Amino acid sequence: LAKTTQPISMDSYEGQEVNITCSHNNIATNDYITWYQQFPSQGPRFIIQGYKTKVTNEVASLFIPADRKSSTLSLPRVSLSDTAVYYCLGFQRNQGGKLIFGQGTELSVKP
């Protein structure tokens, strides 16, 4: 499973775009890059998943360059409620893949 590296923490202000970059140099060919969001005392929640190029949903965008050694989660116009820990993981879709969580990035959004 891919080992991922993310910044420990980030600060932002309401209304700004936030980009969280994740490094995954040894990602496997069949790994999908998956991001989760976790609020205090709650279980993580799936945000977005992609294999390469760009994926966008109602919550975020995910940019994955051609070499797939990194990925960037983009949160447009964050609000105070986006304050959470964000995890980047490699996930093997068709193999009942185990999710291995790193420490994640603690995002703090200020007024």
Partner 1 sequence: DGGITQSPKYLFRKEGQNVTLSCEQNLNHDAMYWYRQDPGQGLRLIYYSQIVNDFQKGDIAEGYSVSREKKESFPLTVTSAQKNPTAFYLCASSIGQGFKDYGYTFGSGTRLTVV
Site residues for partner 1 per CB under 8 A: 34, 36, 41-46, 49, 87, 91, 93-104
CB of 102 to partner 1, least distance (A): 5
Q: Which is nearer to partner 1, 3 or 77 (CB)?
A: 3
Q: Which is nearer to partner 1, 32 or 63 (CB)?
A: 32
CB of 15 to partner 1, least distance (A): 28
**DSSP class per residue in 36-90:** EEE-TTS--EEEEEESSEEEE-SS-EEEE-TT-SEEEEEESS--GGG-EEEEEEE
CB of 11 to partner 1, least distance (A): 17
Buried b (16+ CB within 10 A) or exposed e, 52-81: eeebeeeebbbbbeeebebbbbbbeebeee
Q: Which is nearer to partner 1, 7 or 97 (CB)?
A: 97
Q: Which is nearer to partner 1, 42 or 81 (CB)?
A: 42
